[in-house]
Amino acid sequence: MDLKLLLISTLLGLFCCSNAQKEGNECINANAKYCGECIQAGAKCGWCTDPNFLKQGETVSTRCDELDSLIKRGCDKAMIENPHGEQKTLKNKPVTHRKKGAEKLDPEDITQIKPQKLSLTLRSGEPQSFDLTFKRAEDYPIDLYYLMDLSYSMKDDLENVKNLGTSLMLEMEKITSDFKIGFGSFVEKTVMPYISTTPAKLLNPCTGDQNCTSPFSYKNVLNLTSDGKKFNTLVGQQHISGNLDSPEGGFDAIMQVAVCGDQIGWRNVTRLLVFSTDAGFHFAGDGKLGGIVLPNDGKCHLENNMYTMSHYYDYPSIAHLVQKLSDNNIQTIFAVTEEFQPVYQELKNLIPKSAVGTLSANSSNVINLIIDAYNSLSSEVILENSKLPEGVTIAYTSHCKNGVVSEGENGRKCSNISIGDEVTFSISVTSKGCPKQGKTDTIKIKPLGFTEEVEITLNFICECECHKDGIKNSPLCHNGTYECGACKCNEGRVGRQCECSSNDVATEDMDRTCRKDNGTDICSNNGDCVCGTCECKKRDNPEERYSGQYCECDNFNCDRSGNKLCGGHGRCECRVCICDPMWTGSACDCSLDNSTCMASNKQICNGRGTCECGTCKCTDPKFQGPTCETCPTCPGVCTEHKECVQCRAFGTGEKKDTCERDCSYFNLIKVKDREKLPQPNDASYPVMHCKERDANDCWFYYTYAVNNNTEKEVHVVDTLDCPSGPDIIPIVAGVVAGIVLIGLALLLIWKLLMIIHDRREFAKFEKEKMNAKWDTGENPIYKSAVTTVVNPKYEGK
> CA-to-CA distance for 663 and 661, rounded, in angstroms?
6
Mean per-residue pLDDT, 210-225: 88
- CA angle at 252 for the pair 247 and 255, rounded to the nearest 5°: 135
Burial 159-183 (b: 16+ CB within 10 A, else e): ebbeebbeebbeebeebbebbbbbb
pLDDT for 11 equals 43
CA distance linking residue 375 with residue 371, whole number of Å: 6
Q: Which value, in Å, is the radius of gyration of the alpha carbons in the chain?
A: 54
For residue 97, count other CB atoms closer than 10 A to its CB. Answer: 12
- Report the distance separating Cα 638 and Cα 774, nearest Å: 103
Q: Which amino acid is at 465?
A: E
Q: How confident is the model at residue 488 (pLDDT cuts 50, 70, 90)?
A: confident
Mean pLDDT for 277-304 is 90
Q: Is 736 helix (H, G, I), strand (E, B) or coil?
A: helix
Number of helices and strands in the chain (H, E): 17, 43
Angle between helices 318-327 and 250-259 (to 10 degrees): 30
For residue 253, what pLDDT is reported?
A: 94
**Is 497:476 a contact under the CB 8 Å cutoff?**
yes
At 300-317, the pLDDT tens digits run 999 999 999 998 999 999
What residues contact 344, with CB distance under 8 A and at least 6 apart?
334, 336, 356
Q: Band of the pLDDT at 748, cuts 50, 70, 90?
A: very high
What pLDDT digit, counting tens, does each position of 3-22 carry?
344 334 444 444 444 443 44
Q: Which position has the higher pLDDT, 713 or 502? A: 713
Mean pLDDT estimate for the chain = 84
Instruction: Read off the pLDDT of each residue in 365-377 and give the average, rounded to a whole number.
Output: 86
SS (H, E, C) 84-113: CCEEEEEECCCCCCCCCCCCCCCHHHCCCE
Q: Pick the most confident of 148-162, 411-425, 624-638.
A: 411-425
pLDDT tens-digit series, residues 436-469? 777 899 999 999 888 889 999 999 999 999 988 8
- pTM of the predicted structure, to 2 decimals: 0.60
Residue 3: Cβ-neighbour burial (10 angstroms; 0-12, 13-18, 19+): exposed
Strands 667-671 and 590-591: unpaired
